[in-house]
């Protein structure tokens, strides 16, 4: 069955303050359907430029990896650019480039995605090549050894050479007591070093199947054209009848706050970061996540936020403050604060100031004018997002691989606009509890700290 749904749009007035209303029927249409083999397809029309973004999202990320094989999802992402029965190693990317496009892939906790951005009349070629590597990947032992060295060097450059990345890695590991979100997406080095051909092909054979994939096509396309091409190239691939249920070990009740100090001689600027275990966006029940999102914007969403005004400008105890929440996650996510102390301000003083400022925020409540300004900015951001074919495709792909639906994505802007100040304070008191928190100090190796 094909469902065609108008993508939520926003009326623009001189002050960008008008309420949300439906888009014009001719614009921003989303069509969703499922092939007979179980592959979901989402088509997002935008006919303003003859360009298309073709993406295949697999419901398999680092949190789905077998124990002892951390990093295999990302390893396999690299290996998919090797050869198939029909394509030589590197030929897919070379073909995309020769046709004036670009391609890449990325792995996260809940998904792995592959994309090509190219002229709209090359869509069939993209489907032909992408569907081929869904089932026909061929890997030699030499390629395994070479690409394993590549991912180890990537870890060297992006994680091991960066004290901030190592600090965040340890903080995340402390936040999750039992869930696989506590392991890095790229993998722990000692396990990455043992990944082999059997590990990669086992993950590939288990999860790379049409009934575990979502095709997202955005840009200058017609839904019927996409449906015919999808059936021709993806629809002929058999479903995996042994696809396992997506079960992850869940977090037990967290009953003790945790603290850590990370020391590194390469630290240029010490800072305090605190994270809390927090609920994710759930299908049909996104209100709590919306309140957390707005809470993060109010507390640390820029230079006009509550923390910035209090700690950076009024008291001048910090040179940077922030609050962060991303609810697009299959399982529980996190809400975090970050404070970079000003020169001469100690770590404990910065942390105490954060606690005092947050407590004052809960007592004073939400400034209604500030909340309305943030909602106004979100309405404007929705307008600008319609000009980004890549961003819209990513929004749907991330959501659908994380347990949300097309309707959830479209309802999200409306839910954000409906959240009240009282609901924001209520969710702050409920979620930001010390026993569900990890507080980390990142300091220089020779710096003395007291707690």
The closest of 239, 252, 294, 246 to 403, measured between CA atoms, is 246
Instruction: Please give the sequence-ordered ranges of beta strands (E in DSSP) within 227-352, or none if there are none.
Output: 258-263, 271-278, 318-325, 333-341
How many angstroms separate the CA atoms of 405 and 22, rounded? 19
Contact 280, 292 (CB under 8 A): no
Place of tokens 């609901």: 423
- Neighbouring-strand partners of residue 171: none
Contact 220, 53 (CB under 8 A): no
Contact 439, 258 (CB under 8 A): yes
Instruction: Please give the sequence-ordered ranges of beta strands (E in DSSP) within 59-97, or none if there are none.
Output: none
Strand ranges of the sheet holding 213-219, from the earlier edge strand across to the other edge: 3-6, 29-34, 40-45, 213-219, 51-58, 112-119, 102-107
- Neighbouring-strand partners of residue 11: none
How many angstroms separate the CA atoms of 405 and 402, rounded? 9
3 state SS of 330: coil
Tell me the chain's radius of gyration from C-alpha atoms: 23
φ/ψ of 130, rounded to 5, equals: -65, -40
Lookup: tokens for 319:
């040179």
Instruction: Please give the sequence-ordered ranges of beta strands (E in DSSP) within 291-375, or none if there are none.
Output: 318-325, 333-341
Place of tokens 């980004």: 388
Active-site choice (24, 36, 65, 77): 77
Element spanning 396, H or E? helix 389-401
Q: Provide the 8-state DSSP code for 28.
A: S
How many angstroms separate the CA atoms of 260 and 174, rounded? 8
Active-site residue flag, 77: yes
How many angstroms separate the CA atoms of 52 and 126, rounded? 10
Q: How far is CA 111 from CA 105, 185, 367, 431, in A?
A: 11, 11, 38, 26
Place of tokens 């077998």: 66
Lookup: tokens for 445:
């190796």
Q: Which residues are catalytic?
A: 77
């Amino acid at each position: 069955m094909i469902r065609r749904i108008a993508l939520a749009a926003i009326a623009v007035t001189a002050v960008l303050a008008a309420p949300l209303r439906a888009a014009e029927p001719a614009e921003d249409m989303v069509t969703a359907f499922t092939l007979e083999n179980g592959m979901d397809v989402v088509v997002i029309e935008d006919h303003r430029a003859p360009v298309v973004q073709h993406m295949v999202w697999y419901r398999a990320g680092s949190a789905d990896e077998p124990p002892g094989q951390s990093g295999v999802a990302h390893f396999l992402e690299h290996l998919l650019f090797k050869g198939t029965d029909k394509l030589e190693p590197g030929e897919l990317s070379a073909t995309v480039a020769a046709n004036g496009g670009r391609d890449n892939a990325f792995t996260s906790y809940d998904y792995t995605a592959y994309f090509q951005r190219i002229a709209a009349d090359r869509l069939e070629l993209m489907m032909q090549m992408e569907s081929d590597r869904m089932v026909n990947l061929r890997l030699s032992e030499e390629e395994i050894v070479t690409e394993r060295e590549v991912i180890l060097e990537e870890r060297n450059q992006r994680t091991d050479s960066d004290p901030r990345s190592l600090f965040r890695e340890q903080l995340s590991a402390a936040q999750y007591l039992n869930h696989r979100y506590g392991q890095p997406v790229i993998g722990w080095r000692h396990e990455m070093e043992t990944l082999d051909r059997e590990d990669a092909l086992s993950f590939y054979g288990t999860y790379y199947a049409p009934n575990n994939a979502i095709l997202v096509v955005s840009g200058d396309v017609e839904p019927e054209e996409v449906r015919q091409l999808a059936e021709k190239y993806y629809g002929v691939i058999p479903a995996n009848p042994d696809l396992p249920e997506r079960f992850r070990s869940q977090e037990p009740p967290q009953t003790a706050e945790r603290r850590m100090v990370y020391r590194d001689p390469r630290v240029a600027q010490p800072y305090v970061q605190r994270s809390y275990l927090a609920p994710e966006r759930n299908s049909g029940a996104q209100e709590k996540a919306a309140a957390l999102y707005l809470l993060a914007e109010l507390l640390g969403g820029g230079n006009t936020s509550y923390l910035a005004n209090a700690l950076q400008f009024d008291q001048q105890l910090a040179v940077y403050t922030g609050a962060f929440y991303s609810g697009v996650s299959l399982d529980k996510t996190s809400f975090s604060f970050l404070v970079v102390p000003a020169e001469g301000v100690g770590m404990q003083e910065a942390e105490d100031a954060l606690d005092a400022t947050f407590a004052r925020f809960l007592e004073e409540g939400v400034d209604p004018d500030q909340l309305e300004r943030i909602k106004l900015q979100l309405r404007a951001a929705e307008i600008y997002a319609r000009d980004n074919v890549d961003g819209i495709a990513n929004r749907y792909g991330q959501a659908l691989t994380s347990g949300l639906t097309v309707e959830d994505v479209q309802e999200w802007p409306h839910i954000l606009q409906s959240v009240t100040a009282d609901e924001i304070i209520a969710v702050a008191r409920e979620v930001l509890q010390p026993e569900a928190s990890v507080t980390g100090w990142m300091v220089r190796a020779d710096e003395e700290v007291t707690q």
